[in-house]
Amino acid sequence: MQKPSLPKGTRDFGPVQMARRNYILETIKDTFKLFGYNQIETPAMENLRTLTGKYGDEGDQLLFKILNSGDFLKDVTMNDLSTGYQNTLKKVSEKGLRYDLTVPFARYVVMNRNELTFPFKRFQIQPVWRADRPQKGRYREFYQCDADVVGTDSLVCEAEIILMIRRVFEKLNLTDYSIKLNNRKILTGIAESIGEAGNEGPLCVAIDKLDKIGWEKVQEELIGRGFGLSSIEKLSPLVNLKADQDEKLAFLKNFLGSSETGLQGVKELEDAFTILESMGEDLSHVELDIMLARGLSYYTGAIFEVKVNHVSIGSVSGGGRYDNLTGGFGLPGVSGVGFSFGVDRLYDVLEELELFPAESLKSTQILLTHFDDKGFRYALGLLSKLRAVGIQAEIYPDLTKVKKQLEYATKKGIPFVGICGDQEIENSVIALKNLESGVQESFSLDELIIKLK
Amino acid sequence: MQKPSLPKGTRDFGPVQMARRNYILETIKDTFKLFGYNQIETPAMENLRTLTGKYGDEGDQLLFKILNSGDFLKDVTMNDLSTGYQNTLKKVSEKGLRYDLTVPFARYVVMNRNELTFPFKRFQIQPVWRADRPQKGRYREFYQCDADVVGTDSLVCEAEIILMIRRVFEKLNLTDYSIKLNNRKILTGIAESIGEAGNEGPLCVAIDKLDKIGWEKVQEELIGRGFGLSSIEKLSPLVNLKADQDEKLAFLKNFLGSSETGLQGVKELEDAFTILESMGEDLSHVELDIMLARGLSYYTGAIFEVKVNHVSIGSVSGGGRYDNLTGGFGLPGVSGVGFSFGVDRLYDVLEELELFPAESLKSTQILLTHFDDKGFRYALGLLSKLRAVGIQAEIYPDLTKVKKQLEYATKKGIPFVGICGDQEIENSVIALKNLESGVQESFSLDELIIKLK
């Protein structure tokens, strides 16, 4: 008999992890709903033609593919087999597991475009699967937690994303973090201004690594990608710019003077800030980061990234505006803006900073314990009455030593036990013991209910 | 460009369906928690050696298998290919999607047996996948919603399952339903008493179909399975038994007189009823059904099935006691009892009976509308204040005709719009319009908050 095991890169979530994850997810969901986002779900499996070609060649390699049912070899020819596995793949698999929530969302919008109310604000919290090499903090199954609004160019959406991020962090008691903000149009403008018009793509890819590899290496990479030395020199003052928000904006306007697109990017940022001001909100935690690029090529406007300071974990949230979500499915012109929370990373941050509140683990409030059959019956009589008023209550289901019953309560994190002995039965009370303090007091049922509610 | 589509047998859940599903799931979750069950989650993918052999040959066929990453053909030989797809399958796939929540739970218990607190009460709500032929009401991806307690033989668990089912149904306003109850030991005893000792397996399989195909056909099937005519004749009075609970129990005791196992089954039922009585609970909705068999072979004690009366949908909940959950993973002696709710079926029942409350769809409470930039700024100023007190509020994000804004609110089911025109700005009020009644009244912000809270 083989010992059972989990597939590489996957995890179980036990009661404690689930309670903590739910604490994070409920906070995020409440916030999305407060801002008018509605939840949707899409299937785990998508047709491979929906998924392939959307994530680049590397992404296609990382898709989990599902074997066709039954005799999956029936359409495979000797020729397919002899020309490498790619040709065979097409014949043996037509479905894959979703790789992110964005492509399924785009597919959903296209398929339901006549029924949806635009602007359509949706959130979606589901696992995704990637056949990545498993490593610390990287899993083959993990949850994504996305909110997008499509069908409007309004910068109110950008302002509201900042507010949603701030609300989630406030509720999670996270105080020391930065919402880094930039705009792809500014990066386009920078490429123009340094004499590399049209090369914002490779520019983004290179400066995206600035944090990880430093300016020296980024310069090498830019040279490798064909950037001229004089272009790189012109970029240098931006990389090293130390200034406050207003100074940065002023510097940028000057730097981008000749680029209409670049100035439009600056204006979009300023307009979003003005909207925040109209809402009576300040710019706390917001940090204009001219070197923020984000790798994904489909962003066309604002881009976001959130970093918690003084922890070892990378960005915990990010997103941006795109102007062509559904083009790949034949529906052009659907623009929008979206962002997502990295739930696994938020979990690790809260754990590292010891910010999970004890209440987040609270489940059963009281365990009724007993010494004998008489006490057991007495406890059974109380049990339904406690639950009827919404108190999460359990009885230890077997007749056994009280020590074992107390151990059960302690291990399960139940704060109170209600002892049902002969004396309690005689006086129609319950001896309530606080397992943390050790204090024990007798209460009538009504008093007990008030005490526990 | 191909029009995007969904894989056969899968579904998207849009905002309305999600809100309704969440209404059902939250009701179930609250109930599980009230009774001390903790949530866990397991990965979508399991190793195939964990899954295969647990669901019979047919089940193995219905498992979705995941193709190994990269060159999946690399270990496949010509000999594998020429001997049919089964040998090739072993080389190209080592993972599958979970088929139910029971086998992953058993695996979880075995892998974590040293850390878990027994009796371990867990619930789990996750999708499962089966490569069934898609048909009305049957999907290839659907949610299961299981609660199990393992590590105790206490009949308190059976009593509590009845109470949990009743609570969920009460909260969902479902009143006309039956919780059918039987015990596998009674069926074993019946087999003994009719002279077919040891044949309770085929007996269960046959009488499980009584509802669908009728007694005539069941008799034919029993004959086909080698049951003697005299055995079948002895079974007949049980099939046709019309009696109340007490009479049924008395009849059974007499019928099973010579079968120790059968009488033990009757005693277990009676003990569970006594526990309900000790809890101050009656037997409403509980119906002893001697012919309830349930197909799954691993049940060894109580079995349950819940049917809503006067609807076209089959059973919406079911379960039972087993004495060897984890034997297949080399850990014998883990007994327990579990049950599950069929979420898709409950959805259909509530829809058929029009029992979804309007509140279950409530999302955004108010949309702030505007005529021009001045009104837009004014509305922005109100928005954060409404959200700060927990009111789900939106602003229409673009400057556009009020008609379009009202359409958005109506389509999204938002009950109120807050109109921000010149007059409202001048008087520092908001004109609140109830979109259902058409009534419009002006309020200050403070009044509005009271009105909406």
Convert the pLDDT of each residue in B166-205 to its tens digit. 999 999 999 999 999 999 999 999 999 999 999 988 898 8
pLDDT of amino acid B1:
59
Q: Give the type of residue at A344.
A: D
- How many angstroms away from the CA of B335 is the closest CA of chain A? 14
Mean pLDDT of chain A: 93
Q: CB–CB of B383 and A279 under 8 A?
A: yes
Q: In B, residues 389-448, which contact A (CB 8 Å cutoff)?
A: 390-395, 397-398, 408, 411-412
Chain A positions touching B391 (Cβ under 8 A) are: 34
Alpha-carbon distance of B286 to B182, in angstroms, equals: 10
**Model confidence at A2: pLDDT above 70:** no
Q: CB–CB of A18 and B38 under 8 A?
A: yes
pLDDT of amino acid B219:
94
Q: Where in chain A is the domain with CATH 3.30.930.10?
A: 7-63+99-176+309-361
A374 interface with B at CB cutoff 8 Å = no
Q: In B, residues 304-333, which contact A (CB 8 Å cutoff)?
A: 329-330
Alpha-carbon distance of A230 to B35, in angstroms, equals: 71
Are B306 and B287 in contact by the 8 Å Cβ rule? The answer is no
- Residues 6+ away with beta carbon under 8 Å from B24: B172, B343, B346, B347, B350
**From B1, B19, B67, residue closest to A93, measured CB to CB:** B67
Alpha-carbon distance of A98 to A65, in angstroms, equals: 10
- Residues 6+ away with beta carbon under 8 Å from B111: A4, A5, A6, A12
Which of the residues in chain B have pLDDT under 50?
none
Q: In B, residues 151-210, which contact A (CB 8 Å cutoff)?
A: 152-154, 156-157, 163
Burial of A359 (0-12, 13-18, 19+ CB in 10 A): exposed
- How many angstroms away from the CA of B244 is the closest CA of chain A? 26
Alpha-carbon distance of B182 to B163, in angstroms, equals: 16
- How many angstroms away from the CA of A2 is the closest CA of chain B? 7
pLDDT of amino acid B391:
96
B274 interface with A at CB cutoff 8 Å = no
Are A142 and A127 in contact by the 8 Å Cβ rule? The answer is yes
Q: Is B84 helix (H, G, I), strand (E, B) or coil?
A: coil
Which DSSP state fits B397? -
Which DSSP state fits A93? E
* Nearest C-alpha in B relative to A404: B118
- How many angstroms away from the CA of A448 is the closest CA of chain B? 17
Q: Where in chain A is the domain with CATH 3.40.50.800?
A: 362-452
Global pTM value: 0.94
Q: Is B367 helix (H, G, I), strand (E, B) or coil?
A: strand
Q: Closest Cα to residue B160, out of B350, B321, B313?
A: B321
pLDDT, tens digit, 9 for 90 and up, residues A36-74: 999 999 999 999 999 998 888 888 999 999 999 888 888
- How many angstroms away from the CA of B303 is the closest CA of chain A? 19
pLDDT, average across residues A134-148: 90
- Residues 6+ away with beta carbon under 8 Å from A83: none
Residues facing A182 on adjacent strands: A303
Domain range A362-452, CATH architecture: 3-Layer(aba) Sandwich (3.40)
pLDDT of amino acid A55:
87
pLDDT of amino acid A71:
87
- Assign A204 a pLDDT band (cuts: 50, 70, 90): confident
Q: Closest Cα to residue A164, out of A36, A290, A342?
A: A36
Per the structure block, which two tokens stand in for A51? Answer: 């998924």
pLDDT, tens digit, 9 for 90 and up, residues A270-326: 999 999 999 999 999 999 999 898 876 789 999 999 999 998 888 999 999 999 889
**From B43, B67, B381, residue closest to A67, measured CB to CB:** B67
pLDDT, tens digit, 9 for 90 and up, residues A346-399: 999 999 999 999 877 778 999 999 999 999 999 999 999 999 999 999 999 999
**Model confidence at A30: pLDDT above 80:** yes
Chain B positions touching A131 (Cβ under 8 A) are: 69
Per the structure block, which two tokens stand in for A316? Answer: 């915990």
Burial of B438 (0-12, 13-18, 19+ CB in 10 A): exposed
- Assign A400 a pLDDT band (cuts: 50, 70, 90): very high
**From B5, B156, B380, residue closest to A47, measured CB to CB:** B5
Chain A positions touching B385 (Cβ under 8 A) are: 280
Q: Closest Cα to residue A132, out of A191, A46, A59, A53?
A: A59
- Residues 6+ away with beta carbon under 8 Å from B112: A12, A14
Q: How many CB atoms lie within 10 A of CB A314?
A: 14
Are A263 and A186 in contact by the 8 Å Cβ rule? The answer is no
Q: Closest Cα to residue B19, out of A122, A152, A341?
A: A122
- Residues 6+ away with beta carbon under 8 Å from A326: A106, A109, A110, A332, A334
Per the structure block, which two tokens stand in for A429? Answer: 């009370």
Which of B50, B66, B88, B161 should we substitute to test contact with A (largest number of A Cβ atoms within 10 Å)?
Answer: B66
Q: Closest Cα to residue B297, out of B267, B316, B333, B325?
A: B325
pLDDT of amino acid B2:
65
pLDDT of amino acid A1:
59
Q: What was the ipTM of the complex prediction? A: 0.94
What is the CATH number that goes with domain A7-63+99-176+309-361? 3.30.930.10
Alpha-carbon distance of B178 to B285, in angstroms, equals: 5
Q: Number of CB pairs < 8 Å for A and B?
A: 265
Give the residue, B136 or A448, on which the prediction is more confident: A448
Backbone φ/ψ region at B65: left (φ over 0), alpha (ψ -120 to 50), beta:
beta
Alpha-carbon distance of A175 to A102, in angstroms, equals: 29
Are B395 and B379 in contact by the 8 Å Cβ rule? The answer is yes
B278 interface with A at CB cutoff 8 Å = yes
- Residues 6+ away with beta carbon under 8 Å from A250: none
Chain B positions touching A89 (Cβ under 8 A) are: 67, 72
B36 interface with A at CB cutoff 8 Å = yes
Q: Closest Cα to residue B144, out of B133, B131, B157, B130?
A: B130
